Chain A
Amino acid sequence: DAGVTQSPTHLIKTRGQQVTLRCSPISGHKSVSWYQQVLGQGPQFIFQYYEKEERGRGNFPDRFSARQFPNYSSELNVNALLLGDSALYLCASSLHRTGEKLFFGSGTQLSVL
């Protein structure tokens, strides 16, 4: 079975632009979580979706939004990009709710210039 897939792998944007990142969970997994990882730090929780509903939100501004589709894939949107949004964005899926074993994708490396 395929693991968690994320696209694109790399992205370069300029300040003020908008970006959409995509994630496909492992087949059968209904939960998708998004994390931001700045260089040298651990991943920071952004959102969790379970059964297409938002179940948790981290301390991120409203410029960050996400959604989950009927096939359980997910998109993370970031508006009005700032230089500080440059990071590795990770998607993780799990069979049920977050807290149990998470399966991570390889991430999208976003650079904001």
Chain B
Amino acid sequence: LAKTTQPISMDSYEGQEVNITCSHNNIATNDYITWYQQFPSQGPRFIIQGYKTKVTNEVASLFIPADRKSSTLSLPRVSLSDTAVYYCLVGNFGNEKLTFGTGTRLTIIP
């Protein structure tokens, strides 16, 4: 299972775009990249998933370069409610042992 590396913490002001980068140098050919968000005392919540290039949904964008050794989660115009821990996971469908790292603690400043 590919190991991921993320910044431990990040701060940003309300209204700015936030980019969180995840490094996964050993990603396998059939691995997907998935990001989850977690608030205190709650379970993680799926944000976005992708394999290559760019994926966009109503809450975020995911940028994956051609070599797929890293990925960037982009949150547009963040608000205080985006303060949470963000996890980057790498794995393939059928991989039962998905592993979460320590995540990135994002704090939004008013």
Contact = CB atoms under 8 A, between A and B. Distances in A.
Size class of the B contact interface (CB-based, 8 Å)? 20 to 34
Interface string A75-103: 00000000000001011100011111111
B94 A99 contact: yes
Contacts of A41: 102
B96 A42 contact: no
A43 B93 contact: no
B41 A102 contact: no
Interface string B92-103: 111111111111
A99 B43 contact: no
A74 interface: no
A4 B102 CA distance: 23
A99 B92 contact: yes
* Most chain A CB within a 10 A radius of its CB, from B34, B46, B102: B46
B93 A96 contact: yes
A99 B46 contact: no
Contacts of B36: 102
Interface of B: 32, 34, 36, 41-46, 49, 85, 87, 91-103
Given A97-B93, A106-B42, 15 more contacts: A4-B43, A42-B100, A42-B103, A43-B44, A43-B100, A45-B96, A56-B96, A90-B43, A96-B93, A98-B97, A100-B49, A101-B34, A104-B43, A107-B42, A109-B41
